[in-house]
Structure 1
Amino acid sequence: MNNLVMKKTMCLPTVAARGLVVFPNTLMHFDMIREKSIAALETAMANGQIVFLSMQKDIRIEEPKFKDLESVGTICRVKQVVKLPNGLVRVLIEGISRAQIIEMQEEKPYLRAIVSELSCDDEDDDDIKYEALQRRIVAEFQKYSENNQRVNPDMILPLENMKNFSEFTDSVAANLQLKIQDKQELLNCVCLEERMEMLISILIRETEILEFDKVINQKVKKNIDKNQKEYFLREQMKVIEEELGDKDGVE
């Protein structure tokens, strides 16, 4: 049985992310405007550039508290900060590791929490199992990309030879256009084997949805083409009848 392992515990400034999940070992740009988030970011920049990012459960909440956050988030390193007009701050962050909120420290002037890094002892298991799962993920991704024009099928090429299977799985998940809750569930899934199996299931489901959507679009297009053709023929008949009517009226 896989055992969840809690590693280093630390107290970090915390950013509540709206509709955003960051995976370990991936880079992401996003904009900030809330004062609490910017204050947390500034504190992180002054203290080793490390911040904890957790997704809001409800993106409509303007002043989130700890009860409004997912318990599992990502310890991140702030790579770049750019101040934009209208009070916006654009941030480039790099995910470091999964972590869970252990204790809420404070909510003003910014969120701060004690978090513990998460890992699973299954990552020390035999590589053959993970290589098989990796190959299946690559195969399912190729099917998925064939049905999704917004996904570059070549994206998988630099990833498929990665020997760190956890980084591979998170990198694929980060590049997929999934429902945000699916991404959060993948982040919650610390144990590698379960995470890889979950990603395979999600890819299969998304491919089936895309294929069904394609069938629906083809039927809709066929109906539109048929209706347009019928409309054109009706208009053509009207013109012919009008022309014939005009000729009948000539003496």
Structure 2
Amino acid sequence: MMFDDLREEHWAMSDAQDHEFIPLISPEDEEAMQKEEVPEALPLLSLRNTVLFPGVVIPITVGRDRSIRLVKEAHKKEHRIGVVSQKNDDIEVPNGEDLNSVGTVARVIKMLRMPDGSNTVILQGQKRFKWTSVVQEEPYMKARVVEYDAENLPPKDDEHKALMESLKELAIEIIQLSPNIPSEAGFAIKSIESLTFLVNFIGSNMNAPVEEKQALLEVAGIKARARKVLELLSKEKQMLSLKRDIQTKVKGELDQQQREYFLNQQLKQIQEELGNNPQAHEVAERKLRAESMVWPDHAQEAFKKEILKLERMNSQSAEYSVQANYVDLMLDLPWKKKSADNFDLHHAQAVLDEDHYGLEKVKERIIEHLAVLKIKGDLKAPIICLYGPPGVGKTSLGKSIAKALGREYVRMSLGGLRDEAEIRGHRKTYIGAMPGRILQNLKKAGTSNPLFVLDEMDKLGRDHHGDPSSAMLEVLDPEQNHAFHDNYLDLDYDLSQVMFLATCNNLASIQPALRDRMEIIEVTGYTVEEKVQIAKRHLVPKHLKDTGITGKQFKLPVKTLESVVQKYTSESGVRGLEKR
């Protein structure tokens, strides 16, 4: 901040308890300093992290032995010294190459021994000089010097007056923008009458790197230096204004947040007094729902902990909605809710025959599988995988089986699935985390024993997010899926009552371990006669219904259907026939 050094000056001089030396000079003192001659040689005192300007009084701490000896001799003999800044602050014992060539002639006003044992020296700058050659290295450096850019006091014309006013206005504005700068700094600026001293005083105390201050010291001409100081002050003012705007905005946002927090707390208290607390009502409704549910023991214990955690949360916090969504998922999942199975094999055969013409071997295998389930009473049997070309009715067979058994039908397309999290879900700690698609579909079905069609099993992909086909191993293994672990739910979920039915077009692209867990039923293509019958019984009525045309308005001869099948469809399924 600007004028930080000014606070150090006041501190040092008050500590010395000597009020004779004031860090401001009168026009008479300035004129007297201008008339003093610069000696031919001066002992050089090198400074780190600061630059001394003519007329300015600054305190410095002297720590190097050669510097202490130089200052003591100069103070004792009342000799003037040359003060120059180092190019590199890290050098402990600088030589001529390490010092800037332009410095300030200074007088040692006071030496102070501080309580911590360090030596503080109060210096007053007088005139600028430039050293030409080093004539002595020990016990301290001494060099030949010449006066640098000797100038008389500037004439008090309009430009002089404008520069004075501009400098004072900018400096006072910066002081007002900086809460850490004492108000006395503004009075000091206002009382300065000399443009030269004003430029030097501001240049010495402004917030700028040593390199910029040194460059300012070397600028020739007082008006040029004044314009340079104005430029630096303008940058400083812009920076302070920007900081203040940012702080004001942040403070305003915090004040608004605090205001909303207190208002919400008051509203919560009022609602509790009136018995109308929405958060409490929501929690009570969730507890009421939980009482009517049939839970596994581990899920019931977990729900009690999670609902208690939700009850203690502030409804305005970001974690509240995450916790509420998790509790709602636990309530929405059909943990032990089942639909009654209809294992009437004659009914199942009738449904399959009604929905699908032909495929006798496939239907026979499905009926056999249902018969085993009826006798055994549980589903710990291999998963059915219907394998065959596109369009032969693999997916619709799954729908017919669900219809025959009286189960809910769920279809999950696996084509292009590449992320393992689609199967297992994301952990709750992630923003926007969701359960996997297995649990999402079970939640949608509303029962824990739907018929679950895993469509396009051979189209599963894999990338750096993981291998979803490996995640499917747990889902489709009857020995493991009674304790399926979803990352979001973070509890074991029983999938053993779900009847999984997979479909695929290419067995070779399915992972061998996954293929080994399934019972493959091949669905072959249709013959010409079967395609004709499918068109007659299913496709034509479907299109008549879609177009709103009745059977009386349109008739399609069987020979025409045979001709279309023979001449225009060559695939195994009937999708091409349906388009024709």
Q: State the TM-score, normalized to the length of structure 2.
A: 0.37
Say if 2:74 is the partner of 1:44. Answer: yes
Partner SS state of residue 135, structure 1: helix
Alignment partners' CA distance in 2, 1:223 and 1:158: 37
Identity value in percent: 23
Alignment partners' CA distance in 2, 1:31 and 1:121: 31
Alignment partners' CA distance in 2, 1:52 and 1:61: 19
Q: In structure 2, what is the equivalent of residue 13 of structure 1?
A: 43
Letter in 1 for 2:69: A
Instruction: Give how far 1:127 is off.
Output: 3.2
Compare 151-160 and 131-140 and name the one that shifted more. 151-160
Alignment partners' CA distance in 2, 1:226 and 1:63: 56
Letter in 2 for 1:143: E
- Is the CA contact (8 Å cut-off) linking 2:42 and 2:81 kept in structure 1? yes
Q: In structure 2, what is the equivalent of residue 244 of structure 1?
A: none
Say if 2:237 is the partner of 1:207. Answer: yes
Instruction: Say if 1:84 and 1:236 are closer, same or farther in 2 by CA, change over 3 A.
Output: same
Instruction: Give how far 1:142 is off.
Output: 2.3
Partner SS state of residue 158, structure 2: helix
Say if 2:223 is the partner of 1:193. Answer: yes
Correspondence for 1:56 among 64, 67, 86: 86
Partner SS state of residue 46, structure 2: strand
Say if 2:141 is the partner of 1:111. Answer: yes
Say if 2:262 is the partner of 1:178. Answer: no
Letter in 1 for 2:202: V
Instruction: Say if 1:87 and 1:49 are closer, same or farther in 2 by CA, change over 3 A.
Output: farther
Max radius of gyration: which structure? 2
Instruction: Say if 1:11 and 1:121 are closer, same or farther in 2 by CA, change over 3 A.
Output: closer
Say if 2:106 is the partner of 1:76. Answer: yes
Instruction: Say if 1:226 and 1:93 are closer, same or farther in 2 by CA, change over 3 A.
Output: same
Alignment partners' CA distance in 1, 2:75 and 2:315: 65
Instruction: Say if 1:32 and 1:121 are closer, same or farther in 2 by CA, change over 3 A.
Output: closer
- Equivalent positions of 1:207-226 (< 5 A) are 207-218=237-248
Instruction: Give how far 1:72 is off.
Output: 1.1
Letter in 2 for 1:48: E
Alignment partners' CA distance in 2, 1:231 and 1:215: 32
Q: In structure 1, what is the equivalent of residue 57 of structure 2?
A: 27
State the Cα deviation string for residues 153-195 of structure 1 (Å, max 9, x = none).
5423344353322112212223323332232222222410001
- Is the CA contact (8 Å cut-off) linking 1:134 and 1:160 kept in structure 2? no
Instruction: Give how far 1:109 is off.
Output: 1.7
Compare 209-218 and 196-205 and name the one that shifted more. 209-218
Alignment partners' CA distance in 1, 2:246 and 2:189: 33
Alignment partners' CA distance in 1, 2:182 and 2:68: 33
Q: In structure 2, what is the equivalent of residue 149 of structure 1?
A: 179
Structure number with higher relative contact order (C-alpha < 8 Å, ≥ 6 residues apart): 1
- Is the CA contact (8 Å cut-off) linking 1:120 and 1:192 kept in structure 2? no
Instruction: Say if 1:172 and 1:62 are closer, same or farther in 2 by CA, change over 3 A.
Output: same
State the Cα deviation string for residues 29-54 of structure 1 (Å, max 9, x = none).
11111112112213322432311111
State the Cα deviation string for residues 113-161 of structure 1 (Å, max 9, x = none).
1222334446343433211100011111122223222223542334435
Alignment partners' CA distance in 2, 1:85 and 1:160: 35
State the Cα deviation string for residues 87-136 of structure 1 (Å, max 9, x = none).
63211111111111122112222111122233444634343321110001
Say if 2:155 is the partner of 1:125. Answer: yes
Q: In structure 2, what is the equivalent of residue 3 of structure 1?
A: none
Instruction: Say if 1:213 and 1:188 are closer, same or farther in 2 by CA, change over 3 A.
Output: same
More strand by percentage: 1
Instruction: Say if 1:49 and 1:235 are closer, same or farther in 2 by CA, change over 3 A.
Output: farther
Instruction: Say if 1:210 and 1:169 are closer, same or farther in 2 by CA, change over 3 A.
Output: same
Alignment partners' CA distance in 1, 2:122 and 2:315: 54
- Is the CA contact (8 Å cut-off) linking 1:75 and 1:99 kept in structure 2? yes
Instruction: Give how far 1:219 is off.
Output: 5.2
Letter in 2 for 1:75: V
Letter in 2 for 1:233: S
Letter in 2 for 1:151: I
Letter in 2 for 1:71: S
Correspondence for 2:192 among 162, 170, 177: 162
Q: How many residues align?
A: 239
Q: In structure 2, what is the equivalent of residue 4 of structure 1?
A: none
Letter in 1 for 2:236: E
Q: In structure 1, what is the equivalent of residue 167 of structure 2?
A: 137
Letter in 2 for 1:59: D
Alignment partners' CA distance in 2, 1:55 and 1:75: 12
Structure 2: state its 5+ residue gaps.
1-36, 262-313, 326-580
Partner SS state of residue 170, structure 1: helix
Q: In structure 1, what is the equivalent of residue 317 of structure 2?
A: 233
- Is the CA contact (8 Å cut-off) linking 2:56 and 2:204 kept in structure 1? yes
Instruction: Say if 1:234 and 1:162 are closer, same or farther in 2 by CA, change over 3 A.
Output: closer
Partner SS state of residue 55, structure 2: coil
Alignment partners' CA distance in 2, 1:146 and 1:72: 33
